[in-house]
């Protein structure tokens, strides 16, 4: 099936099998391997990307559903000022170890600080409940998001 | 420059690539012409294979045991007396012995096509009764996993150490309990993976594998493929978590490697989550009966442990299936000054995946039973469990302390870790709250668990484990580049532990270089010194020691060249901030690199021919291991109507000697602790009565998420090891050891008013309700 989409700002046209997941499409056809796959079942959040600005689990979204949509993966935030803050806070708060959950975590984290800039720790944890990390124990991730949110709040007039 | 050496929370060198999605894991690597592999796996725990039928059009794309002549079987032999050897075929031959055992493999450009192909393979089974629960499998008359064996006992041993009988006679209290620790899947976010190809130019097999011990994997691949090690190269790129799972030679990697050689085509296998949670549910499962003997003050006189470990169907290479059980006696004394023990250990074969090790190895299990019995003794004599702990612990003035089981504890103040945890968990506050009661009908409890963790144990210890691979000197190569930066090559691996930063900090400590200017390389057997790899919380002590040793040798050579360039005597110069400083001036390392590599005409006549590349080995003396320790405290609320357990507070007081990077240490402790919380409350690979796997998704096999854990409170003590470089102790596994025990003790403290105890992990609502029902309290 033919799809036309924008991937990290670049227009793309492709012929995809109906059963091909968006995650596999991004990784295999486009070679963007920053999007990781663990459960392929919508539980772990490793494959989280943005579709039309909203976090989506690319393992259970079919590539064909991305037709006429704007798709952004971890590779597509290099000029995003919010993501720049989130990334720095992740490093400063040791919110990553093996790095495998990190791309999905970053996309979710950016969504949290954008949508809920005043979220408290409990709310941050709740919002993170769809992203599993086996390494960090989450404390660093919660700290990083709290810190990024407060920095971003402070910048706003 | 502020110190970037030991003790500084330097931000990690590795973060940049991960934060931009530029990490490279095996699944991210595609070589031209790669075929992806899908395995047909047994749906039955125990059966004879009557026939395998492959459609004609799949010939040449589907392979079975008949195509694997000369490959394997995997044999993980222990030289411990009485060990029974099993043969683990890389693809099942006449029988299948666990759900998930590979029977056939299909190859196609896309994994989905390969999966379509395995759907079309017909296997006729003749099902056999399965050995599922290890306690039943031990009994005579149980179904035999290996029909040529007289029973399912892989290995057993018995130890009586110290004046056991005398102590038993003296004891005023005898407390016995039975404990169960569930089978688990390690569940790193990146599963196992292998991509094999034949490099015709080098005439070598190259295997990219998600692995903690790449050199050891290369040794094993060569052994089971019948190849010379000269022709085997393993590259373990970024690895998405290991935790002990990725240290053995895998059947799937052997199949991929042999087919890559045969078909002259890259073959890639990426374990999916169903494969991981079923075929790889391979750790922990213990059954204990433990008796503690104590005097009327609660001073322990003897522990008597009977352990059965479910070893699964086969023994893995090189660690064997008995390494888990075989450790249980040695670690039984934990942090206590215990005069005697008796232990019976058994590894039992069952129709489940072959047992491997997982963070903490046998310790989470032994800590669980040991620390729960401590609380049971305290309850029996009516004292606070933490006081009983403190009274029984090895005291700091007894260090170094040799346990009755022959472990040599190097340093530490164990009782102080309990005292600090008592304060941080506010035990007095909890007791007052318990007296008041909760308005919502829940019950509050506080529980403690302490442990010691042997880390970086070397030749003298592992040579007694009966395994084929014993670590010796750990090697590191340090070389200066022509522009004065450093490259470090080590044979260990890092998959979250931050070694790209911490080893650079050690180099910085010795040579004053900025860690950002140090490139730490590992994971490629063609480009690093041989090492048994990363396991047993050894890498920072061993590779760190090797890096320090090599840097010191390099410093001497640098001083000679630097002094010459400064026209000073070598004795009159010192090295600081990547410079050689003399009485009348200084030169940067870049000038030295330039002299050695590009302008040898500037070198002194008596220069060391080794130049600016140094390889050194390191081993602590003694090499019996350095012991980290910790006390964990958990505060829980239990709902006696629903059986739910909520963690309200969690405290860790740990001591791992000198912390190279405190931020990284915190990360390791926190991550380990949350894995331990998973063991305590959530994680259980379940099997049906016939050995059928029941937990094949992350919706059935639950690992902790962000909402399941509180903000953990972490406190540190720093007692240096007298035996290691800088006094560093290993600590990667420790966090995972204590939580099952601390949380269970907290639950039992909460349920004490009802006279109910839990002795099984995970502590699910069902188990809590069952315990309440059994006591007539529901
Ligand atoms: S891989 Fe998509 S949610 Fe787990
Ligand atoms: S950093 Fe390893 S899974 Fe999150």
| Torsion over CA: B349, B354, B358, B361 (sign) | positive
Q: For residue B622, with 0-12 CB atoms within 10 Å meaning exposed, 13-18 middle and 19 or more buried, which class applies?
A: middle
CATH topology of domain A2-76: Ubiquitin-like (UB roll) (3.10.20)
Q: Which CATH number fits domain A81-155: 2.40.50.150, 3.40.50.150, 1.10.150.120, 1.10.4030.10?
A: 1.10.150.120
For B668, the closest chain A residue by CA position comes to A136
ipTM above 0.95, yes or no: yes
Structure confidence by residue, pLDDT tens digits, B501-543: 999 999 999 999 999 999 999 999 999 999 999 999 999 999 9
d(CA B609, CA B557): 10
Q: Does ligand 2 have an atom closer than 6 angstroms to the CB of A131?
A: no
Q: Which two tokens stand for residue B347?
A: 């590894």
pLDDT tens digits, residue range B672-731? 999 999 999 999 999 999 999 999 999 999 999 999 999 999 999 999 999 999 999 999
The arithmetic mean of pLDDT across residues A81-103, rounded, is 98
> Three-class SS of residue B95?
strand
Confidence of residue B466 (pLDDT cuts 50, 70, 90): confident
**Strand order from edge to edge, sheet including B574-576:** B574-576, B579-582, B585-588
Q: Do B17 and A96 touch (CB under 8 A)?
A: no
**Atom number of ligand 2 nearest to Cα A99:** 1
pLDDT score recorded for residue A27: 97
The verdict on a CB contact (< 8 Å) between B670 and A140 is yes
The predicted pLDDT at position B467 comes to 86
- Do B188 and A98 count as a contact with CB atoms less than 8 A apart? yes
Rounded to whole angstroms, the Cα distance separating B348 from B331 reads 20
**Residue-wise DSSP of B327-392:** TTTTTTTTTB----EEEEEEEEE-SSPPP---TTTTHHHHHHHHHHHHHHHHHHHT--HHHHHHHH
* pLDDT value of position B113: 97
- Identify the nearest ligand to the CA of B667 by its number: 2
Q: Give per-residue pLDDT as tens, B174-195.
A: 999 999 999 999 999 999 999 9
Per-residue pLDDT tens digits for B578-603:
999 999 999 999 999 999 999 999 99
CA of B179 to the centre of ligand 2 (A): 31
- Report which protein residue has its CA nearest ligand 2's atom 4: A133
Q: Which ligand is nearest to the CA of A49?
A: 1
Contact at CB, A100 and B20, closer than 8 angstroms = no
pLDDT > 90? residue B481:
yes
Q: What tokens appear for B130 in the block?
A: 């399965």
Cβ contact, residue pair B705, A129, below 8 Å = yes
State the average pLDDT over residues B321-330.
Answer: 94
Strands B341-349 and B300-312: parallel
Residues in A closer than 8 angstroms to B273, CB to CB, are: 38-41
Ligand 2 atom closest to the Cα of residue A141 is 4
Average pLDDT over residues B423-435: 98
Q: Collect all residues with Cβ–Cβ distance below 8 Å to B501 and sequence separation of at least 6.
A: B10, B11, B12, B13, B14, B515, B520, B661, B664
- Ligand 1, residues A42, A100, A108, A130: which to mutate, most atoms within 8 A of Cβ? A42
Q: Which residues line ligand 1 (CB under 6 A)?
A: A 37-40, 42-47, 57, 59
Structure tokens at B543: 């590779």
B190: nearest CB among A92, A100, A136: A100
Residue in chain A nearest B707 by alpha carbon = A125
Stretch B660-682: mean pLDDT, rounded?
Answer: 98
Q: Does B263 touch chain A if contact means CB atoms closer than 8 Å? A: no
User: Phi/psi of residue B471, each to 5°?
Assistant: -75, 145
For residue A28, the chain B residues in CB contact (below 8 A) are 30, 110
Interface of B with A in 573-602 (CB under 8 A): none
Check whether B778 has a pLDDT greater than 90.
no
Interchain proximity B20–A97, CB inside 8 Å: no
Choose among B15, B187, B240: nearest Cβ to A91: B15
**Encoded tokens for A38:** 């663990």
CA A108 to chain centre: 5
Q: Residue B127 in 3-state DSSP?
A: strand
B1 touches A83 (CB < 8 A): no
Contact A36, B25 (CB under 8 A): yes
Sheet with strand B626-638: strands edge to edge:
B443-455, B626-638, B645-655, B713-717
The response to whether residue B242 sits with its C-beta less than 6 Å from ligand 2 reads: no
Query: Which ligand 2 atom lies nearest to the CA of residue A105?
Result: 4
Does residue B464 register a pLDDT over 90? no
Per CB-CB distance under 8 Å, the chain B contacts of A128 are 705-707
Q: Specify the pLDDT at position B1.
A: 54
Binding site membership of B496 for ligand 2 (Cβ less than 6 Å):
yes
CB-nearest partner of B241 from A28, A98, A103: A98
Residue B501: closest CA among chain A residues belongs to which residue?
A97
Give the nearest ligand 1 atom to A43 CA.
3
What the block records as the tokens of B281 is: 């549910």
- Ordered by where they begin, the domains of chain B are 15-22+473-618 (3.30.365.10), 31-128+189-241+246-279 (3.90.1170.50), 360-458+623-774 (3.30.365.10)
Report which protein residue has its CA nearest ligand 1's atom 3.
A42
At B465 the pLDDT is 83
The response to whether residue A84 sits with its C-beta less than 6 Å from ligand 2 reads no
How close B508 comes to chain A (CA, Å)?
20
Give the other-Cβ count within 10 Å of B387's Cβ. 14
| Most informative mutation of A21, A46, A100 for ligand 1 (most atoms within 8 A of CB) | A46
The separation between CA A143 and the C-alpha centre of its own chain, rounded to angstroms, equals 18
Answer yes or no: do B667 and A135 touch at CB < 8 A. yes
Strand, helix or coil for residue B446: strand
State residue B606's pLDDT score. 83
Quick: pLDDT tens for A29-55: 999 999 999 999 999 999 999 999 999
Give the distance (Å) from ligand 1 centre to CA of residue B278: 18
Closest partner residue to A99 among B23, B187, B712, by Cβ? B23
How is chain A split into domains, by residue range? 2-76, 81-155
3-state SS, residue B542:
helix
* Pick from A75, A101, A131: CB nearest B21: A75
What are the distances in angstroms from CA B685 to CA B130, B351, B366, B700, B745?
17, 14, 19, 9, 23
Q: Answer whether 0.90 is exceeded by the pTM.
A: yes
- Distance, in angstroms, between A44 CA and closest chain B CA? 8
Average of per-residue pLDDT across B40-60? 97
Sign of the four-CA dihedral B197, B199, B204, B207: negative
Contact residues, B window 162-191, toward A, CB-based 8 Å cutoff: 187-191
The nearest alpha carbon in chain B to A46 belongs to: B189
A-proximal residues of B, 664-683, CB under 8 Å: 664, 666-667, 670-675
Distance from the alpha carbon of residue A61 to the mean position of ligand 1, in angstroms: 10
- What was the pLDDT predicted at B469? 85
What pLDDT does residue B394 have? 98
Q: Which ligand is nearest to the CA of A100?
A: 2
User: Given phi > 0 = left and psi -120 to 50 = alpha, else beta, which region is B298?
Assistant: left
Q: Hey, are the CB atoms on A134 and B675 less than 8 Å from each other?
A: yes
> In whole angstroms, what is the distance from residue A113 CA to residue A149 CA?
5
If you average pLDDT over every residue of chain B, what do you get?
97
Q: Which ligand is nearest to the CA of A24?
A: 1
Q: What is the pLDDT of residues B357-407, one digit of tens each?
A: 999 999 999 999 999 999 999 999 999 999 999 999 999 999 999 999 999
Quick check: A157 pLDDT over 80? no
């Amino acid at each position: 099936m033919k799809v036309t989409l924008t991937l990290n700002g670049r227009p793309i046209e492709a012929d995809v099998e109906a059963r091909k997941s968006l995650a596999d499409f991004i990784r295999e056809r486009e070679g963007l391997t920053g999007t990781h796959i663990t459960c392929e079942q919508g539980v772990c959040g490793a494959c989280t990307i943005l579709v039309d600005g909203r976090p989506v689990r690319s393992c259970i979204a079919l590539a064909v559903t991305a037709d006429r949509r704007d798709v952004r993966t971890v590779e597509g935030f290099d000029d995003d000022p919010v993501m720049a803050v989130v990334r720095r806070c992740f490093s400063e708060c040791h919110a990553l170890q093996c790095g495998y959950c990190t791309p999905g975590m970053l996309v979710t984290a950016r969504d949290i600080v954008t949508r809920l800039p005043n979220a408290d720790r409990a709310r941050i944890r709740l919002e993170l409940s769809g992203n599993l990390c086996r390494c960090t124990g989450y404390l660093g991730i919660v700290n990083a998001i709290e810190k990024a949110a407060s920095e971003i709040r402070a910048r706003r007039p | 420059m502020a110190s970037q050496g030991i003790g500084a929370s330097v931000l990690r060198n590795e973060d940049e690539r991960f934060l931009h999605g530029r990490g490279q894991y095996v699944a991210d690597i595609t070589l031209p012409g790669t075929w992806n592999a899908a395995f047909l796996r047994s749906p039955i725990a125990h059966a004879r294979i009557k026939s395998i039928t492959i459609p004609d059009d799949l010939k040449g794309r589907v392979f079975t045991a008949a195509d694997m002549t000369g490959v394997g079987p995997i044999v993980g032999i222990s030289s411990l007396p009485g060990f029974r050897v099993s043969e683990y075929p890389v693809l099942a031959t006449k029988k299948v012995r666990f759900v998930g055992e590979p029977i056939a493999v299909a190859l196609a450009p896309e994994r989905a096509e390969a999966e379509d192909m395995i759907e079309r393979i017909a296997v006729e089974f003749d099902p056999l009764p399965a050995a599922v629960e290890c306690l039943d499998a031990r009994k005579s008359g149980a179904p035999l996993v290996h029909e040529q064996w007289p029973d399912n006992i892989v290995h057993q041993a018995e130890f009586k150490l110290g004046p056991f009988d005398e102590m038993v006679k003296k004891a005023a209290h005898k407390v016995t309990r039975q404990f169960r620790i569930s089978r688990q899947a390690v569940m790193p976010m990146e599963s196992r993976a292998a991509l094999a190809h034949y490099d015709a130019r080098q005439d070598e097999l190259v295997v990219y594998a998600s692995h903690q011990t790449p050199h050891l994997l290369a040794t094993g691949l060569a052994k089971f493929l019948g190849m010379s090690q000269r022709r085997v190269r393993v590259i373990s790129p970024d690895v998405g978590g290991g935790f002990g799972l990725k240290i053995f030679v895998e059947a799937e990697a052997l199949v991929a490697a042999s087919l890559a050689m045969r078909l002259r085509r890259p073959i890639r296998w990426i374990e999916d989550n169903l494969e991981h949670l079923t075929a790889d549910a391979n750790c922990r499962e213990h059954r204990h009966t433990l008796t503690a003997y104590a005097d009327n003050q609660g001073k322990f006189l003897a522990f008597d442990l009977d352990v059965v470990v479910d070893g699964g169907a086969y023994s893995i290479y090189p660690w064997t299936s008995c390494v888990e059980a075989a450790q249980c006696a040695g670690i039984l004394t934990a942090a206590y000054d215990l005069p005697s023990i008796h232990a019976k250990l058994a590894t039992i074969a069952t129709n489940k995946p072959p047992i491997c090790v997982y963070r903490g190895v046998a310790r989470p299990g032994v800590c669980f039973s040991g620390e729960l019995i401590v609380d049971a003794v305290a309850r029996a004599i009516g004292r606070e469990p933490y006081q009983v702990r403190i009274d029984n612990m090895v005291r700091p003035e007894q260090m170094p302390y040799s346990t009755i089981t022959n472990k040599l504890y190097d340093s530490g103040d164990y009782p102080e870790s309990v005292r600090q945890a008592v304060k941080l968990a506010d035990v007095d506050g909890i007791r007052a709250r318990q007296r008041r009661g909760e308005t919502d009908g829940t019950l509050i409890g506080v529980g403690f668990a302490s442990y010691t963790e042997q880390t970086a144990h070397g030749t003298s210890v592992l040579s007694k484990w009966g395994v084929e691979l014993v670590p010796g000197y750990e090697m590191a190569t340090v070389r200066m580049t022509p522009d004065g930066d450093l490259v470090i090559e080590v044979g260990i691996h890092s998959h979250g532990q931050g070694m790209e930063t911490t080893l650079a900090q050690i180099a910085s400590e010795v040579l004053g270089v900025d860690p950002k200017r140090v490139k730490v390389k590992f994971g490629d057997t063609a480009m690093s010194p041989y090492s048994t790899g990363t396991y047993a919380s050894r890498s920072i002590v061993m590779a760190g020691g090797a890096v320090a040793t090599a840097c010191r040798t390099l410093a001497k050579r640098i001083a000679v060249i630097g002094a010459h360039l400064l026209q000073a005597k070598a004795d009159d110069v010192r090295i600081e901030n990547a410079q050689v400083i003399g009485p009348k001036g200084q030169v940067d390392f870049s000038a030295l690199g330039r002299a050695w590599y590009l302008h040898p005409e500037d070198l002194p006549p008596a220069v060391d021919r080794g130049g600016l590349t140094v390889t050194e080995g390191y081993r602590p003396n003694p090499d019996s291991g350095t012991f980290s320790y910790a006390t964990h405290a958990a505060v829980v609320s239990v709902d006696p109507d629903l059986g739910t357990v909520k963690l309200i507070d969690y405290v860790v007081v740990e001591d791992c000697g000198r912390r190279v990077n405190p931020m990284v240490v915190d990360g390791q402790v926190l991550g380990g602790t949350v894995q331990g919380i998973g063991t305590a409350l959530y994680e259980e690979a379940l099997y049906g009565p016939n050995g059928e796997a029941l937990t094949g998704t992350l919706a059935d096999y639950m690992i902790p998420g962000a909402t399941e854990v509180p903000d953990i409170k972490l406190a540190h003590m720093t007692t240096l090891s007298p035996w290691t470089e800088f006094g560093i102790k290993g600590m990667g596994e420790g966090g995972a050891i204590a939580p099952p025990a601390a949380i269970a003790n907290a639950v039992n403290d909460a349920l004490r008013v009802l006279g109910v105890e839990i002795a099984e992990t995970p502590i699910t609502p069902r188990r809590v309700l069952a315990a309440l029902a059994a006591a007539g309290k529901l």
